[in-house]
Chain A
């Protein structure tokens, strides 16, 4: 195995600008970045530093202004919308800050959703989803609707959905921002444990210092550019 084969995400001089002229915002500015399998990496930086934008261009939710992005060695900046949707479905698990779950589906059904989109047979889905919900300690909430769950429980369901389909990487944009600090800490501990035990790769953004402490690697964004890349432990 060469070093390249373990690189999941690579950005080369990735730029994303909004507006033009006077109001030009360089939300992501010339970012070179590599994420390897098994990483547990946080993107840190104050609000407006470009964390969300960087995650969005990596996942193909937004198009780069210039530069290239590779996922598993494929240049995704060349992809059509349809190919990008497939890429997200097959390779990326998402956890958003809010509106993660479909309110009309139960915790179980939400977690099952991507497996269903991927066409996994129902009995396999059931085993898989129940195992994941169990792992995240919310198996007893399987039949509850999101409105019947706490914020922390909802985010766990979102993580369950993200990891149930064995994605290449889980991208999480400020997954703890709407949680109180204690719940936030336990959610990140859980993510770290999944990374440790199951080898799931996480790339998430946060500006909470306590959460950044748990991360193996912290990329600091300042005005859209990486200003620091620290490896903990």
Chain B
């Protein structure tokens, strides 16, 4: 072992209590950061998965200007063309029709957004069919049934089996008027769906709205094969005829927030490291102060200042290396605990909803090697940097003055 590291290690062992306290702080910091990074990644990935695989999808196609007024008449021309592209590129696609009207059960009524969906395609493309609170999502055969949002169900006093009367203005100007059975109540997916979604079979929708096969939205999901931008690019040929938007464009606030979350984490860890740096600075200042006569003696012998700087910095480095090893192990263990048990934020009364999108309230971890590498490197760099000031101070001592200190 090079003498510098021998000196560093033995110096650390001289004041075991001081070393242990600093080491614990460093280990704690490492472990917390690793766990936080992993938790943050899980949360971000989970959020994106929720968005792209629940109801919104990676990319949505609408008729131009549909999103501004959501008019029943602004439907996609020739939707088969896009479904064909999707099929060719192996991207799951779900065509949807939307219309607005009144929904009532007994004496209660509320405004509703009616969805006409193809249950089979919806199941193939998205997972929201699994997000059922009560009852069932329909299969292809069952008609005259609806699945409704949670809050809508509450305000209509709806139960499974309740009869829901839909009153809408149909495409031909007549009044559409039908009775459906409530077959299922959805879990929270988005605020909008919670409050107003009445989802029915495409065929029921066509009858209710006399919409003659009008499709207002095609939601696309490549299921992680492609990025949302890549999916959008596949449909570029049609960009003049329809509006193609990625989820990031549809939910810009949320996309921005998720994007800055990771950088925010780095900023946050930076603050952590400043605190750690001051801790190490303090320890190393005390340590070098205690040994001021030794540094004076070494300088008197002809030891170069850089070697004394090396000695002090090596001490901080050995300390941080131990902390990094122990801290990484502790961090991995924390992540394992998180994965096993999870933190259920809903039990803390937190509503897990942002920009109208619901999120999984159970936090787990998604640890990547980069989290450990970053934490280890940042801890070591921070320790060595913090020791630089005491190191330079020790290196600049006047030998006689230092040796006269008591």
User: Interface of A with B (CB < 8 Å)?
Assistant: 56, 59, 61-62, 82, 85-90, 92, 94, 96, 99-100, 102-105, 109, 113-114, 116-117
Contacts and interface: CB of A to CB of B under 8 A. Distances in A.
A14 B403 CA distance: 23
Nearest to B305: A85
Contacts of A90: 302
Listed from nearest, the 10 A-B pairs whose CB atoms lie closest are A89-B302, A104-B10, A88-B302, A99-B293, A85-B302, A99-B297, A61-B400, A61-B399, A104-B11, A104-B7
A56 B403 CA distance: 12
Interface string B1-22: 0010011001100100000000
A62 B403 contact: no
Given A99-B403, A105-B7, A109-B6, A61 B297 contact: no
Interface in B291-319: 293-294, 296-304, 307
Contacts of B400: 56, 61-62
Nearest to B295: A102
Interface in B1-48: 3, 6-7, 10-11, 14
Chain B interface residue number, banded: 20 to 34
Contact of B297 (A62, A100, A116): A100
Given A89-B302, A113-B301, 9 more contacts: A82-B304, A85-B302, A88-B302, A94-B300, A99-B293, A104-B11, A105-B3, A117-B303, A117-B304
Contacts of A94: 300-301
Contacts, number: 59
A117 B10 CA distance: 19
Interface in B188-216: none
Contacts of B307: 117
Contacts of B7: 102, 104-105
Best-surrounded residue of A56, A61, A105 (most CB of chain B within 10 A): A61
Given A61-B399, A61-B400, A109-B6, A102 B302 contact: no
Nearest to A145: B10
B302 A96 contact: no
Query: Quick one: which of B7, B300, B302, B399 has the most chain A CB within 10 A?
Result: B302
Nearest to B8: A104
A44 B6 CA distance: 40
A114 B297 CA distance: 12
A142 to B, nearest CB: 15
B405 to A, nearest CB: 10
A217 to B, nearest CB: 25
Nearest to A161: B301
Contacts of A99: 293-294, 296-297, 403
Contact of A96 (B10, B14, B297): B297
A212 B294 CA distance: 29
Contacts of B14: 103-104
18 contacts: A56-B400, A59-B300, A61-B399, A62-B400, A85-B302, A88-B302, A89-B302, A89-B303, A94-B300, A96-B300, A100-B297, A102-B294, A104-B6, A104-B10, A113-B3, A114-B301, A116-B3, A117-B301
A87 B302 CA distance: 8
Nearest to A90: B302
A86 B299 CA distance: 11
A88 B7 CA distance: 22
A25 B359 CA distance: 80
A61 B6 CA distance: 27
B196 to A, nearest CB: 74
Contacts of A89: 301-303
Nearest to B402: A99
Given A62-B400, A99-B294, A104-B11, A114 B300 contact: no
B318 to A, nearest CB: 13
Given A61-B400, A102-B7, A109-B6, A86 B300 contact: no
A95 to B, nearest CB: 11
A116 B311 CA distance: 14
B299 A96 contact: no
Nearest to A97: B403
B300 A61 contact: yes
B298 A102 contact: yes
A86 B302 contact: yes
A117 B302 contact: yes
Nearest to B10: A104
A19 to B, nearest CB: 15
